[in-house]
Structure 1
Amino acid sequence: MPSEPPDPPERRKAVHRPVLLDEVVEWLAPREGSTLVDGTAGAGGHTSALARRVGETGRVIGFDRDPAMLELARAATEGLPVDLVHAPYSEMREGLAGLGIAAGTVDGVVLDLGLSSDQLAWRDRGFSFGSDGPLDMRFDPTSGLPTAAELLAEMSAEDLANAIYEYGEERFSRRIARRIVETRDARPLETTGQLAELVRRCIPGKLRHGPIDPATRVFQALRILVNDELGHLDKILAELPGILAPGGRAAIISFHSLEDRRVKWAFRNDDRWTVLTRKPVTATAEETAVNPRARSAKLRVAERWSNQEPIPTPTSPRP
């Protein structure tokens, strides 16, 4: 049965709830006249909250790879001191320069590395197997990058297995990769439903019915692969200290260990940083009750080293 047609972009409404919103605002401590960057603007939740606190002389710049998400952010930030840039956060330095903002002058940066609930809800984007749709998975459909379906059609079983294991931490990666190659020889894998069902059949019966759908890890791996997510993260982690002003802060939210380890190591192993969160900040029970997605979120915050008086930290940071 063909998948249902996607909703036109003009009918799309934001459903995403920004995670750890109060904590991000508290740790970045925006002031009148601050220059802040949201490297993952999404639907504009963090962006708009920060923009309301920088006053008429302040400025918030929001980056996003997804043009559809930028349309939502534009609606959420209307009338606020916000500039939106269609670019990945790994191009932050270049994007800021294009707006006349010099490196070493930014007061704070937030990155929410999670996939937006809006992107998951749009079946034509292929991020979710909750409803059948094309296997796309590109954050930027205009980028010219290969889709997930194209990668599945071209990669060797060995390369697929390695990617699924490395990016999805899936122990049945070789079995899944072999089945993908066998199946595509008979017919192309083109929809999220096809791939999800193939993965489920590769998992032993007693493990198929746990709290997490067996297809989840494979979809995560393919999304990371399609969008080179870890490559973009490594690049921005290396450049952030040079983007921030002395005393400026970086607040980074991750949702799985592959990202969180990189953030932790970057903050701890670069002497330009002072780590402010000894342990990652996590969501309160109240937040997870209304936004279950926040349950796996981890916020780490570091400050660009400065010999000046630091910005006050939150009085009672949660571990």
Structure 2
Amino acid sequence: MPHTTPMPSAETAHRTVLLHEAVDQLITNPDGVYLDATFGRGGHSREILRRLSPAGRLIAIDRDPQAIEAAAQIHDARFVIKHAPFSEFARVLHEQGVAQADGLLFDLGVSSPQLDQPERGFSFRADGPLDMRMDNSSGQTVAEYLATASVDEIATVLRDYGDERAAVQIAKKIVARRDAGAPLARSGELAALVASAVKSREPGQDPATRTFQALRIHVNAELAQIETALSQVLDCLRPGGRLAVISFHSLEDALIKRFIHRHARAPAVDRRQPFVPGVSAEFQPQLKEVVRMRPSAAEISGNARSRSAMLRVAQRV
């Protein structure tokens, strides 16, 4: 039976960031088992399937029900997709009878289709319900969070996840509006409120950029999801297998970088301190750093959303 992996429809088409670079680095064994932990609209998955032999397997997961629907376009006996957050990838692999995979791919953050659908509430450029959930079938929306959170709680989220200098001013305006009987319900309302609170911003950046990023990260517990997923990598990756992670902002990348360095490099020794026998000798690396790369100038020119992307790849020792 032939394998068919059609291209996305015009409705769901988007440009997959670092498509060939990530898959080039990921696949070391065409007969192996691979995981696409963030299917999105399937750009990486389709390319992986093109590179695999008839004996290869690809297991994909996504927490977005619309991504699961999009995956129905792929009719390939080597492919299966499951509805789950990527933090549960180890469970999904084990349920598929896979103890260790040959490669794990994570493409973090919000996807272009999510940004481009006003009804999802991710974008400050188009008005829609103030939702921002990756899995819009469960969990708390941004509107629901802002309906009860205190000024201090909101300001902390905006500072910690968005590095927003006007965090307190924005939080006070959100709570004042709520207390006046008009809680935020639409993305356009939030964008307008932030614009009224932020007096200056970097050239070319919308005043609401940092606020929308921070609230999205919070309601989806994105950093906690990454940390949970990373804690499962070493057990789920066979020796010689590769971890490839694409991140889009510094908070994500810092977690990935620290994880790889912790398992690839011996702890630094302060040579001013008395020598402690065996500190370096006892360290056994579990990962080897392979490469880190950013999109080419040509990719950034053709897809502005790729400009902040970072790909890090490590190999299981």
Are 1:156 and 2:168 counterparts?
A: no
Q: What residue number does 1:316 align with?
A: none
Task: Give the distance between the partners of 2:239 and 2:28, measured in 1 at CA.
Answer: 15
Q: Which amino acid aligns with 1:201?
A: S
Q: Contact 1:37–1:110 at 8 Å: present in 2 too?
A: yes
Q: What residue number does 1:19 align with?
A: 17
Are 1:286 and 2:301 counterparts?
A: no
Secondary structure of the structure 2 residue equivalent to 1:129: coil
Are 1:248 and 2:260 counterparts?
A: no
Q: Contact 2:120–2:132 at 8 Å: present in 1 too?
A: yes
Following superposition, the deviation at residue 12 of structure 1 comes to: 8.2
> Aligned Cα RMSD in Å?
1.4
TM-score (norm 2): 0.88
Following superposition, the deviation at residue 303 of structure 1 comes to: 0.7
Deviations 1:60-115 (A, max 9, x none): 1111000101222332x33362110100110011111111112xx20001101031
Q: Contact 2:223–2:252 at 8 Å: present in 1 too?
A: yes
Are 1:99 and 2:96 counterparts?
A: yes
Q: Which has the larger radius of gyration?
A: 2
Find 1:136's aligned residue among 126, 131, 137: 131
Find 2:313's aligned residue among 276, 290, 301: 301
- Residues 12, 136 of structure 1: CA spacing in aligned structure 2 closer, same or farther, 3 A cutoff? farther
Q: Which runs of 4+ in 1 moved over 4 A?
A: none
Secondary structure of the structure 1 residue equivalent to 2:72: helix
Q: What residue number does 1:167 align with?
A: 161
Gaps of 5+ in 1: 1-10, 306-319
Task: Give the distance between the partners of 1:128 and 1:194, measured in 2 at CA.
Answer: 12
Task: Give the distance between the partners of 1:130 and 1:90, measured in 2 at CA.
Answer: 30
Q: What residue number does 1:273 align with?
A: 287
Q: What residue number does 2:80 align with?
A: 83
Q: Contact 2:26–2:242 at 8 Å: present in 1 too?
A: yes
Secondary structure of the structure 2 residue equivalent to 1:139: coil
TM-score (norm 1): 0.87
Task: Give the distance between the partners of 1:224 and 1:258, measured in 2 at CA.
Answer: 10
Are 1:64 and 2:71 counterparts?
A: no
Task: Give the distance between the partners of 1:121 and 1:53, measured in 2 at CA.
Answer: 29
Count of matched residue pairs: 287
Are 1:188 and 2:202 counterparts?
A: no
Q: Contact 1:133–1:192 at 8 Å: present in 2 too?
A: yes
Deviations 1:218-262 (A, max 9, x none): 000000000000000001111111110011100000000000000
- Residues 59, 256 of structure 1: CA spacing in aligned structure 2 closer, same or farther, 3 A cutoff? same
Q: What residue number does 2:212 align with?
A: 219
- Residues 12, 289 of structure 1: CA spacing in aligned structure 2 closer, same or farther, 3 A cutoff? closer
Task: Give the distance between the partners of 2:154 and 2:114, measured in 1 at CA.
Answer: 24
Identity of aligned residues (%): 44
Gaps of 5+ in 2: 1-8, 264-284
